[in-house]
Structure 1
């Protein structure tokens, strides 16, 4: 697993975490925002009218109504990215990361408008009578780029695991274990059975479930978040200020947080923003292609609302909960996951300004003399008795570290460290450090009016958010399989999807997130290329829509 994780980190380094990717993603969104004259602002009010069914036409082809399509797409985006993803971004990028999540969402509203409109325009009716659409269809039917369509469809199948299935159940299982002590495998097994029962019913059952779950889960989560924000109201202003203040400088060290350079906060913020709202990834168009609408632009209008609800509202609430509570820069006792832990050569102290600067520079990849540790660590009664090293976990200086054997027995003996990585797989490493993902959000939710009971809101919210995301992504994957291999390939895909869902319930969290980071980018890049190539057609399609609309609704115009 370490070798696989290293491969994922390498791929992420040249793709999503590379210096160029955030500029490409934001650049496409900025281009279309200017090219189409800020549709996310001009069409915002109109989009709400469309989603309520004001302009619906009887007899329009499709499998779902506008609200069900929006709910399905939102269920695919509102998931661990809103709970665990925001926490991960803040834990490694600081408050500045939230600013870049906002920017990704604002310009992503236009990107999603474009990709949904084009995908809906070139959707097809399958052999079983259901609608199928997505970027692969406009790539194939309009651009005549079969190779790009196939590449995108394959990436969609991979991403259905990397984005939709694996991170969702991994965070659910972690949260259920933290809150109720449920075994990871038990959680994974029960939910895998429920997942199978839902997705076997196809898009109509999926749409029925998500259109009821999404409003409930959003309301519950908002109430819980506001309980923490209002409880820590005096910290709300400083939290907002820190987001803007650090946006172009990076976040300074505070508490256990070692600081994040601008480039690091920018990259992580944009990546987490993409993971959260999926604008540009090409996933939501697959759900919207099933909507009953004769005008593709009208469905594109509906999709404008997704990044707004997902990131501007829900992710902001999560971010303010974490920042105002102060939990993000505090150290907490936890078991260190191997992919979060790094052992440095030399003894460093966070209280020493020079040491802090050197280690921070190393973690932010901006040049440092700090090196990974190579050698052995002597342990007696669970405590290290040899020196010459420093243990980091979750990008923070670890404290009060103990080494244990399964069954909570203290370890005695030697530990082997190669390139800063502990090679003794059976050893449990426990101590105080920063935490991230769902664990951080869960901790932050206990700092409000509900006290310790607040963690149950996160657990239930995460259960509903993440499970509905896994449901929606199974649909995205089976539409991609339908395009690639036909309708007969859907059932084998669903079986593998459910099996992967179960496996991820007890897999390494950071490994899952790294897989998600790579899968997202591999799916996003072909889609961004495709919509850019169709920029002129998009503009013409929007212009035609308003001509027809104004002719039909002169009183409303």
Structure 2
């Protein structure tokens, strides 16, 4: 057996079985133990997130960034190629019913993401330059009490997101622009690398400033385009929604046999792609939530609920509905090509360039977010002296990724993604009482204010 086949087999077991159960199990555990906190505090979460929405907030500095800037940085990382290609892959492999299982995974993931954000806040600290930092490595070490697991997590996330993951993102941008506009892959890679370098060197202030503007604009652009298509295909909307719920339990009935999917496949692809997209429980977004300037940890926990909701129920859901309403599901096309086909039916010749531009925003914002997450772990392992070598390496990987598509590299990205999840989930379960206390204090504070 060659190395690629071996890694593929490991990923098949890791992502299709082990991590599905662990990630969903953690979400279910938190949902029931916190009495459906994502439902009870849903209104409060959205009020907190958008009550004082400002695309030109106060510049982030050594004391961190605003709660909205932290939310935007988290969403920047969560809303990526998975929202365009992941939803399409799930439907192509598992039928429309896969989207139902995506919904379910996201519902439980909202509780997990809230817990991660709270722990990021509780165990945040300052680096050797006095700047606020935090993330799973800190709560694994200081809360869970395992420096070894914290180091393992840090190494895995730097490789998974900072290096290999950002190669995947730049490759997606380069492919889309080459297909839509004929731009050379290397040219796209260099442009992305230079723009990335400009943002990275600006530190937390520039990262927060970019994400708070980019995220609302990119999401707005994509949703307006998608809604326009749904309006023109309004007659297909109710059948499309029905097919999602019917297909969850009877995939053949939902597709008329076009896709020979089983209920098991619908569950597997829906849950796996959904978790991969919204990142709940993976240990990535707590780095953004940790640096938010909030009065109580649970206030930022609310942003964790909002982030998963926007990623799955808003953006990813739009991709799914456009694919199902335009009738492009043929049992052969998958991934980004299926999404492009749907938007081409909906928008004509403008569809392909539209998807390419959206992919640029989605993937590049993920590069910024993932760089930032890796940076927190470089500081954890090496202090601030490790930042400049890390920045140079990330820019190099961005440029290289645009020109290189090696299956083994892409599979290794999935492997390291999976490896970083394990220590994070162990700590999440172990630190439940810390999360429960933070939620309780927040709710008590709300009752006192009400009186």
For this structure pair, what is the TM-score category when the shorter chain's length is used for normalisation?
Answer: over 0.9
Q: TM-score, normalised by structure 2?
A: 0.93
Distance, in Å, in 2 between the alignment partners of 1:513 and 1:242 is 32
The 5 Å alignment of 1:402-421 reads none
**Contact 1:166/1:501 (8 A) holds in 2:** yes
Distance, in Å, in 2 between the alignment partners of 1:510 and 1:240 is 35
Residue 330 of structure 2 corresponds to 329
Distance, in Å, in 2 between the alignment partners of 1:264 and 1:513 is 22
Residue 445 of structure 2 corresponds to 548
2:208 matches 1:215:
no
- Larger-gyration structure (1/2): 1
Distance, in Å, in 2 between the alignment partners of 1:239 and 1:211 is 33
Distance, in Å, in 1 between the alignment partners of 2:406 and 2:95 is 20
Secondary structure of 1:16's match? Answer: helix
| CA displacement, residues 186-239 of structure 1 (integer Å, 9 cap, x when unaligned) | 211211111111111111111100110111111110111112222222222222
Moved more, 480-489 or 229-238: 229-238
Residue 42 of structure 1 corresponds to 40
Following TM superposition, by how much is the alpha carbon of 1:273 offset from its aligned partner in structure 2, in angstroms? 0.8
Residue 79 of structure 2 corresponds to 78
**Contact 2:121/2:289 (8 A) holds in 1:** yes
| CA displacement, residues 172-195 of structure 1 (integer Å, 9 cap, x when unaligned) | 111111211112222112111111
CA distance 1:505–1:456, shift in 2 (3 Å): same
2:234 matches 1:233:
yes
Residue 463 of structure 1 corresponds to 360
| CA displacement, residues 2-40 of structure 1 (integer Å, 9 cap, x when unaligned) | 94432331220221123x431221111111111101111
**Residue-pair matches, total:** 446
Q: Please point out which of 329, 333, 340 is paired with 1:442.
A: 340
Distance, in Å, in 2 between the alignment partners of 1:188 and 1:328 is 31
Q: Please point out which of 357, 376, 382 is paired with 1:485.
A: 382
| CA displacement, residues 364-403 of structure 1 (integer Å, 9 cap, x when unaligned) | xxxxxxxxxxxxxxxxxxxxxxxxxxxxxxxxxxxxxxxx
2:365 matches 1:494:
no
Residue 124 of structure 1 corresponds to 125
Following TM superposition, by how much is the alpha carbon of 1:512 offset from its aligned partner in structure 2, in angstroms? 5.7
Distance, in Å, in 2 between the alignment partners of 1:318 and 1:187 is 25
Over aligned residue pairs, what C-alpha RMSD do you find? 2.4
Residue 348 of structure 2 corresponds to 451
**Contact 2:160/2:414 (8 A) holds in 1:** no
Residue 55 of structure 2 corresponds to none
**Contact 1:73/1:472 (8 A) holds in 2:** yes
Residue 427 of structure 2 corresponds to 530
**Contact 1:170/1:509 (8 A) holds in 2:** no
Secondary structure of 1:505's match? Answer: helix
Following TM superposition, by how much is the alpha carbon of 1:287 offset from its aligned partner in structure 2, in angstroms? 0.6
CA distance 1:159–1:252, shift in 2 (3 Å): farther
**Contact 1:53/1:66 (8 A) holds in 2:** no
Distance, in Å, in 2 between the alignment partners of 1:32 and 1:492 is 39
2:82 matches 1:65:
no
CA distance 1:61–1:295, shift in 2 (3 Å): farther
Distance, in Å, in 2 between the alignment partners of 1:162 and 1:496 is 8
Distance, in Å, in 2 between the alignment partners of 1:65 and 1:107 is 26
CA distance 1:139–1:302, shift in 2 (3 Å): same
Residue 373 of structure 1 corresponds to none
| CA displacement, residues 395-415 of structure 1 (integer Å, 9 cap, x when unaligned) | xxxxxxxxxxxxxxxxxxxxx
2:275 matches 1:277:
no
Residue 184 of structure 1 corresponds to 185
2:290 matches 1:289:
yes
Following TM superposition, by how much is the alpha carbon of 1:456 offset from its aligned partner in structure 2, in angstroms? 2.0
CA distance 1:202–1:468, shift in 2 (3 Å): same
CA distance 1:21–1:63, shift in 2 (3 Å): closer
The 5 Å alignment of 1:344-355 reads none
The 5 Å alignment of 1:236-315 reads 236-251=237-252, 257-315=258-316
**Contact 1:179/1:459 (8 A) holds in 2:** yes
**Contact 1:256/1:329 (8 A) holds in 2:** no
Distance, in Å, in 2 between the alignment partners of 1:153 and 1:482 is 10
Q: Name the structure where helix makes up a greater proportion of residues.
A: 2
Distance, in Å, in 2 between the alignment partners of 1:224 and 1:321 is 10
Moved more, 504-513 or 96-105: 504-513
**Contact 1:162/1:520 (8 A) holds in 2:** no
Structure 2 portions without partners, runs of 5+: 53-57
Distance, in Å, in 2 between the alignment partners of 1:63 and 1:84 is 33
Residue 113 of structure 1 corresponds to 114
Residue 6 of structure 2 corresponds to 7
Distance, in Å, in 2 between the alignment partners of 1:513 and 1:173 is 15
Following TM superposition, by how much is the alpha carbon of 1:256 offset from its aligned partner in structure 2, in angstroms? 9.7
